[in-house]
Amino acid sequence: MGLCLPEVDMGSDYTSTTVRATVVQASTVFYDTPATLDKAERLLAEAAGYGSQLVVFPEAFVGGYPRGSNFGVTIGKRTDKGKEEFRKYHAAAIDVPGPEVDRLAAMAGKYKVYLVIGVIERDGYTLYCTVLFFDSQGRYLGKHRKIMPTALERIIWGFGDGSTIPVFETPIGKIGAAICWENKMPLLRTAMYAKGIEIYCAPTADAREVWQASMTHIAVEGGCFVLSANQFCRRKDYPPAPEYAFAGEELAPDSVVCAGGSVIISPSGAVLAGPNYDGEALISADLDLGDIARAKFDFDVVGHYSRPEVLSLIVRDHPTNPVTFTSASTKIEGS
């Protein structure tokens, strides 16, 4: 079993501290959010039993990644069946804030872990692929909305804006996240480096071997730990046909539809744990936070290795709302 590590004091030099981290590789219980939350708690309890202080779950773990579905969309047409699929998917999403967020916060506090988890967020009738952050005291810290869904993801998820690209300063390091192919966006990564990210969480749905190259590059580029969590799931982890169909495919129940590949990488590019392609698993490693300073001595992309007089970035980090209301009761000067 894992070594239990003490909570780090806020006033201590955490750069000389070791933090035990776990990435969860497991499947959603699709269309069943209460059962998915029950599963998340079992996995969180198991990780805490190993002494983990930080636990990262995959992209869209709560609400589900609708792999293989096209929601009945072709250019110029949407089918009634696809619209019904979206209704069910919308029903499985969660409100932020909401009761499911409260439960996740309580779980983080109960097991005294920092929790980073991918969810499908429902905001009215628009869905977002979102990551939620919780501290070990059971407090909800905030969220990151995926700013650029990939390919057909764009028909079901809205686009996040610059107001939800947080990096949270915690006693175990500065924690943030980018989701799946967002990690291929150099300017987004640069914004996160500028916020001082030290533990870079990368929930994903990409199980290809080439994903490992991206994760290693980000670790070395950012001088940060990279924790990538992906689901491992088989056809039988989704509802059976015709309730849920993989477009153009008939798959055997045991067919692997997402092979995982979850991994933890150090700021020097060393693979600390994983990648795992064998099934559902908890993948853990001890992070020596001193490795961040050692790596930054070589290369600090927003510090001594930058050239701001030549290359710079502006990030618009305010909310972008389609409608803005001004109060009709605002008093007019002199009236």
List the catalytic residues.
59
d(CA 48, CA 60): 22
The one-letter amino acid code at 310 reads V
- Distance between alpha carbon 109 and the CA centroid of its chain, in Å? 19
Query: What are the residues facing 288 on neighbouring strands?
Result: 18
Which segments of the chain are extended strands (E)? 18-25, 54-56, 73-74, 77-78, 114-123, 126-134, 140-145, 167-170, 173-177, 199-201, 225-228, 232-234, 256-259, 262-265, 271-276, 281-288
Q: Where are the alpha helices (DSSP H) in the chain?
A: 33-49, 80-92, 99-111, 186-194, 210-222, 290-298
Sign of CA dihedral 169, 174, 180, 183: positive
3-state secondary structure of 78: strand
Cα distance between residue 269 and residue 176, in whole Å: 19
